[in-house]
Structure formats: C-alpha cells, structure tokens
Amino acid sequence: MKKIVSVIKPFIINQNIFVYEDGNKIDAVSVPLNNIQDILINTANKYEITEVELIGSRKYLNGIIKKIQEEEVTQYKENKLNIKIIAG
C-alpha cells in the first residue's frame, strides 16, 4: 500500500513529504509550508495515493487539512485524500 507521511513542524519554512510503498520510502520532497497543499495533492496524484498521515500538533494540522481539502475541491470538485492525524 502506498501512502504519504509528513511531520509538520510549525514555524519551519520547508517541510518534508515522504512517499512510502509497503513500508519502503520511494520518494521525498521538501516543500515550503505555505505551498504544502498543492505539492501534497500533486504528489498523491503522481503516485496514485489516497492515504495521507500527517504528524504534529492536532490543532495546527486541522488548519493544514482544511487548506488541503479546499484545494482538492477547487481542483477536482471532491476530496479524494483520506488524511489521518497522528499527534506528535
């Protein structure tokens, strides 16, 4: 199974997005925090991924998830990603 995993750290400009398949890292992308929703969605589409795990502060991540979902609706008219928060 493929999934995206990212530890989101507030106040850090560049964030890392990791793509895993069956537990093996197959790609890593460093992105500016203010553009994470676009890059995450594009990476998910590139690898045909619907599962995303975001690690960090639940309150902060809820705002990030809202931006991701809004961008998904703008681009695709629906939310395709299943985003799970893992408190870190």
pTM of the full structure: 0.92
Q: Is the pLDDT of residue 76 over 90?
A: no
For 6-48, write each residue's pLDDT tens digit. 999 989 999 999 999 999 999 999 999 999 999 999 999 999 9
Residue 32: Cβ within 10 Å count: 11
Which residue range(s) make up the domain with 80? 2-87
**Average pLDDT across the chain, whole number:** 94
CATH number, domain containing residue 7:
3.30.420.40
Report helix, strand or coil for 6. Answer: strand
Rounded distance between C-alpha atoms, residue 73 and residue 87, angstroms: 26
What pLDDT shows up at residue 75? 87
Domains held by the chain: number: 1
